[in-house]
Amino acid sequence: MTDSVVAHPPFPARRGAARATTWWGKAWVRAVEEAAYAESDLRRARSLARQGAVGGISLTAGRMVAAVADEHGLFTVDCRVPVLDAEALATLVETVAAESGRIGALLAHELPHGLVEHAEEAGVELLPFGTELEAACTCVGWLDPCPHALAVLSQTAWILDADPLALIHLRGLPRDDLLARLHARSTRASAHESGADDLDATVDLAADASARATRILDLLDSDSPFDHLL
């Protein structure tokens, strides 16, 4: 797995609620709401997010880092979400490959319900719980996550709205790594099928040769009218 970093440019100020629009983006927002200590912190965070107070978010496996400005200054926020272990990542790749349309959907910026449900049945949680979200901020606040961190986490939902592959990246599998694993899996499957065909042909030839040898031995052991020629 490569330590890939994707830098997302700052979101401009937005009017209105500016909430997540996709089902997976809304699921992320629910986790953010679960992580907050108070509704007032969430209101403050949403206000900062809408005002464009959050700088560009650098997203990598397990981390979202950004600067947040308010009337008290400029602060650095480092948010964390657990990455999947090697076994879970392998299971996730198999889950994506299980149906031919899933990778196409992801590349088209859609996250199929079936993919997430199938992964959960296999013991792999893509969408986090509130208790999994952690953050550190350079502000003087003692809350974790503070409103600055909640603002970064809120804007992360907008990133996930636009590209659900960012969610898989956060869980430890960047886009290019996912595609490389799927390609390698497909290549192995093709080689296995080709090898199986070659083996079947070899077995058929061997069986035919054995049958011919048995027939010749039977003829040699029998009272053949051609015995006087031998």
Is the residue at 179 inside a domain?
no
Are the C-beta atoms of residues 61 and 169 closer than 8 Å to each other?
yes
Q: Which of 162, 155, 134, 175 lies closest to 56, judged by CA? A: 155
Q: Which residue range forms the structural domain that includes residue 143?
A: 6-173
Is the residue at 181 inside a domain?
no
Whole-angstrom CA distances from 136 to 78, 101, 104 are 5, 39, 36
Is the residue at 92 inside a domain?
yes
Residues in the chain: 230
Is the residue at 230 inside a domain?
no
pLDDT of residue 217: 44
Is the residue at 202 inside a domain?
no
pLDDT of residue 100: 86
Is the residue at 1 inside a domain?
no
Q: How many domains does the chain have?
A: 1
Report pTM.
0.80
Is the residue at 229 inside a domain?
no
pLDDT of residue 202: 43
Over the chain (230 residues), the average pLDDT of each successive run of 10 is: 84 83 96 95 95 96 97 97 97 94 95 96 96 95 91 97 97 96 83 47 45 50 45
Amino acid at 106: L
Return the bridge partners of 70, or none: 73
pLDDT of residue 128: 96
Is the residue at 192 inside a domain?
no
